[in-house]
């Protein structure tokens, strides 16, 4: 994959009040170019002029490639690469290749907002990202004000599409998915009576999902015996775990991200907890395996993607994934990122047929693209999806998986439960 020399742009430091590490500041521009090997330029863009197609049809992505959330961003980057190869290998946008620029949004709000601004100034027609819901609440309003379509591949917190008429997502919200894993846990062990809840109180995804988890528990007659609050950058959870274990829970429910969540699982098991663990979408990546290692085994998680789905769209995705040299099954984040670029490209093809991009002002093209995006029905690796008028994804199929670790204690798989 060629890397184009990056343009220099200042980035605001992380807000100390967010608890984010400055390590997550943006470190430069990474251009992803597959298929035709083309790049949208580094110059500024004006939405009053025509769409600039000299380098291809410009689409931007902002992913967490540094900081704690890079365990997600790397999965997503793979998905975009695979989708770009498939799209441009199939003729691009009616004969013109897609030119995708990938910008590192770090793992904090300031970096994501800066990266969104940079991509919009380049004149992209649409944006994919950012990786975290916490970042989306800061960055999406920038795109909304400027009329740039956003497709979120991994923002599951409540309220994301409601940020504006140009905001949509292909990642199903937590309220749809999270309760499924609670129900499955009770099916596997009907004797469960006492649930303890953990969540990061400085993260939008975690605070939104834990509310949903706690309601699901209450609906099942399991009011949490304790609710323990943490923060994203925490590494030592002994105080919270000790307090929780004193309540003798037989179910732990966690809304944490991959790094802090993986560390908590390891510490829970090391401190003697032997019961069932349900985790949220923040841990829906195989990158948790090296963190919680053998202690990942047995955790339950609801998912929006199954590699076992037998459809033409998923078969194409799986073929691309395996051809890239991957031996394991593709994770959900990779499939969702692939889907995000797929739906943008299909909407662009429809738009270009009745309003040729070459002769359409950028602002008008962006507006038309958003309309086409919301109007379509798409056959994707996730199954058939479409959108509500508000930009919320409508998806039919969901799953619950249980982690099965390999004997090496550092690799494993999400085994789908029947």
Domain 174-303+399-416 is found in CATH 3.40.50.2300: yes
Task: Find the farthest-apart pair of alpha carbons in the chain and give their distance in angstroms, rounded.
Answer: 68
Confidence at residue 16, expressed as pLDDT on a 0 to 100 scale = 27
Confidence at residue 164, expressed as pLDDT on a 0 to 100 scale = 98
The helix/strand/coil state of 98 is strand
Closest-CA residue to 372 (of 336, 343, 395, 392): 343
Per-residue pLDDT, averaged over 337-341, amounts to 98
Confidence at residue 46, expressed as pLDDT on a 0 to 100 scale = 57
CA atoms within 13 A on the CB side of 259: 13
Sheet holding 251-255, edge to edge: 226-230, 195-200, 251-255, 276-279, 300-303, 399-405, 412-416
The residues, ordered by sequence, that sit 6+ positions from 189 with a Cβ below 8 Å of its Cβ are 250, 251, 276
pLDDT tens readout for residues 39-98: 333 444 456 688 999 999 999 999 999 999 999 999 999 999 999 999 999 999 999 999
Closest-CA residue to 412 (of 301, 293, 304): 293
Domain boundaries, the chain: 16-172+311-387, 174-303+399-416
- Is 80 exceeded by the pLDDT of residue 413? yes
Same fold, 16-172+311-387 and 174-303+399-416: yes
pLDDT tens readout for residues 346-403: 999 999 999 999 999 999 999 999 999 999 999 999 999 999 999 999 999 999 999 9
Report strand pairing: 393-395 vs 383-387: antiparallel
In the CATH hierarchy, which fold is given to the domain comprising 16-172+311-387? Rossmann fold (3.40.50)
Neighbours of 222 (CB within 10 A): 20
pTM, entire model: 0.85
Q: Is 80 left (phi over 0), alpha (psi -120 to 50) or beta?
A: alpha
């Amino acid at each position: 994959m060629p890397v184009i020399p990056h343009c220099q742009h200042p980035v605001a430091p992380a807000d100390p009040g967010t608890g984010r590490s400055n390590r997550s500041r943006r470190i430069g521009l990474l251009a992803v170019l597959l298929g035709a090997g083309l790049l949208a330029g580094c110059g500024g863009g004006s939405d009053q002029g025509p769409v600039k197609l000299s380098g291809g049809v410009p689409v931007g992505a902002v992913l967490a490639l540094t900081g704690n959330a890079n365990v997600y961003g790397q999965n997503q980057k793979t998905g975009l690469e695979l989708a770009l190869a498939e799209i441009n290998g199939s003729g691009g946008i009616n004969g013109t290749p897609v030119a995708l620029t990938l910008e590192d949004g770090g793992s904090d709000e300031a970096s994501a907002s800066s990266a969104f601004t940079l991509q919009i100034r380049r004149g992209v027609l649409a944006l994919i990202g950012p990786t975290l819901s916490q970042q989306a609440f800061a960055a999406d309003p920038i795109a909304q004000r400027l009329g740039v379509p956003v497709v979120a591949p991994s923002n599951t917190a409540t309220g994301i599409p409601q940020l504006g008429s140009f905001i949509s997502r292909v990642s199903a919200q937590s309220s749809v998915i999270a309760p499924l894993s609670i129900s499955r846990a009770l099916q596997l062990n009907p004797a469960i009576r006492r649930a303890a809840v953990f969540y990061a109180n400085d993260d939008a995804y975690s605070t939104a999902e834990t509310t949903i988890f706690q309601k699901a528990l209450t609906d099942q007659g399991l009011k949490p015996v304790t609710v323990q609050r943490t923060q994203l950058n925490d590494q030592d959870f002994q105080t919270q775990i000790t307090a929780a274990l004193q309540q003798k829970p037989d179910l732990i429910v966690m809304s944490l991200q991959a790094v802090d969540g993986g560390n908590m699982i390891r510490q829970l098991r090391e401190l003697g907890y032997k019961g069932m663990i349900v985790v949220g979408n923040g841990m829906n990546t195989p990158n948790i395996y090296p963190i919680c290692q053998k202690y990942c085994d047995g955790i339950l998680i609801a998912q929006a993607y199954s590699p076992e789905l037998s459809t033409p769209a998923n078969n194409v995705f799986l073929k691309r994934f395996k051809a890239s040299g991957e031996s394991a099954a593709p994770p959900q984040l990779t499939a969702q990122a692939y889907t995000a670029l797929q739906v943008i490209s299909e909407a662009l093809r429809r738009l270009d047929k009745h309003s040729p991009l070459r002769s359409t002002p950028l602002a008008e093209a962006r507006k038309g693209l958003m309309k086409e995006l919301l109007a379509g029905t798409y056959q994707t690796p996730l199954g058939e999806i479409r959108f509500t008028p508000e930009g919320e994804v409508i998806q039919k199929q969901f799953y619950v998986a249980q982690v099965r670790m390999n004997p090496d204690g550092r690799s494993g798989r999400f085994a789908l439960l029947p």
